[in-house]
Amino acid sequence: MVSKSNFELLLNQGSFVVCGEMSPPQGADKAPILKKCAYFKDYVDAVNLTDNQTAIVRMSSMMSSVFAMEGGVEPIMQMTCRDRNRLAMQSDLLGAAAAGIKNILCLTGDYMTFGNHPDAKGCFDLDSIQLIHTASELNKGRFLSGDEVKSPPGLFIGGAANPFAEPFEMRIIRLGKKIAAGAQFIQTQPVFDLLRFEKWMAAVRDNGYDQQAHILAGVMPVRSVKALINMRDNVPGSMIPDECIKRMDVVKESKEDSIEVGVAMAVEIIKRLREIPGVKGVHLMPVMWESITPRIVELCDLLPRPVPASGDDAL
């Protein structure tokens, strides 16, 4: 049997987990990854390595995950269905597991026209739920074709959920499908609108999904009102209340004040998320602002990070 990841052990023992997120560099140098790892090491339990997010070409998430391990950080490898067919994805999953990557996050992926290669052909051979199903079949020792996997990878499989997109009912149905397909943890889109998130969590609890998978709420610290407005207007499926924008707008003249308000907002959101039943952790998404992670984690009294109780579960 493959040993479980730190991240999985912490979730299983009921600790409130903190994840980070970093984007791989747009070049063939691993130094930026190692540099960012320093911001996350000892402050978060695992870090997502994005897979060509917003369809912009970057270093592969698999190799970046390997470098993140060099940097002392436990990776969650993201995998999108946009760039690979079912053969490539299964072989990548096997390779990732062999390299020591234990957590994966299965996504459908942003459409090509959002990125820097809008002329590309999208693959979309599988969708995210079918990818979760595929990974879970690999864990059970079967390829999609039904053939036997010689040594199953034993991955900890995750999926994403967006509580803020329409139609609301469909979001719950889709979450249920992801969990039924084999998702063991769920990361949500960044929460700004807590009322909507609470409504979503209530529906999740009514269906008992919080008992079947670990739900991690996304939190995105922002350092300028421009970033917030850009997100509201250009990222479909995000929901940003006017009061957040107003709060950031008041201090837009001063960079330092904007940062202070941005941090305070993230900390407030995390503190309120911790009180919602069924939320097992938070997923910090400091896009291009990884250096702020230690401060936020510290301000939320989430330090020191817990260590999984030794051994027993790993067998």
- State the residues that interact with other proteins by CB under 8 A: 81-82, 86, 108-111, 113, 122, 124-130, 133-134, 144, 146, 160-162, 165-167, 169-170, 173-174, 176-177, 180-181, 189, 236-237, 239
Least separation in angstroms between residue 171's CB and other proteins is: 8
Q: Which CB sits closer to other proteins, 19 or 183?
A: 183
Element (H, E) at 206: helix 194-206
Contact 244, 228 (CB under 8 A): yes
Q: Which CB sits closer to other proteins, 101 or 135?
A: 135
CA-to-CA distance for 113 and 248, rounded, in angstroms? 30
CA-to-CA distance for 259 and 257, rounded, in angstroms? 5
Question: Is the N-terminal amide bond of 304 cis, ω within 30° of 0?
Answer: yes
Least separation in angstroms between residue 237's CB and other proteins is: 5
Q: What is the DSSP letter of 148?
A: B
Least separation in angstroms between residue 251's CB and other proteins is: 27
Element (H, E) at 280: strand 279-284
Least separation in angstroms between residue 91's CB and other proteins is: 16
Least separation in angstroms between residue 190's CB and other proteins is: 11
Q: Which CB sits closer to other proteins, 239 or 285?
A: 239
Least separation in angstroms between residue 142's CB and other proteins is: 13
Q: Which residues of 231-262 are buried (b: 16+ CB within 10 A; e: fewer)?
A: bbeeeeebbbeeebbebbeebeeeeeebbebb
From residue 221, give the alpha-carbon distance in Å to each of 259, 287, 290: 9, 8, 10
Q: Which CB sits closer to other proteins, 12 or 108?
A: 108
Least separation in angstroms between residue 216's CB and other proteins is: 15
Q: Which CB sits closer to other proteins, 166 or 301?
A: 166
Residue 171 token pair: 């979001």
CA-to-CA distance for 101 and 18, rounded, in angstroms? 18
Q: Are strands 279-284 and 214-219 parallel, antiparallel or unpaired?
A: parallel
CA-to-CA distance for 51 and 115, rounded, in angstroms? 12
Which residues are registered as beta bridge partners of 215?
Answer: 186, 279
Q: Which CB sits closer to other proteins, 27 or 122?
A: 122
Contact 40, 15 (CB under 8 A): no
Least separation in angstroms between residue 139's CB and other proteins is: 17
Q: What is the DSSP letter of 292?
A: G
Q: Which CB sits closer to other proteins, 13 or 145?
A: 145
Contact 132, 106 (CB under 8 A): yes
CA-to-CA distance for 184 and 206, rounded, in angstroms? 18
Q: Which CB sits closer to other proteins, 77 or 181?
A: 181
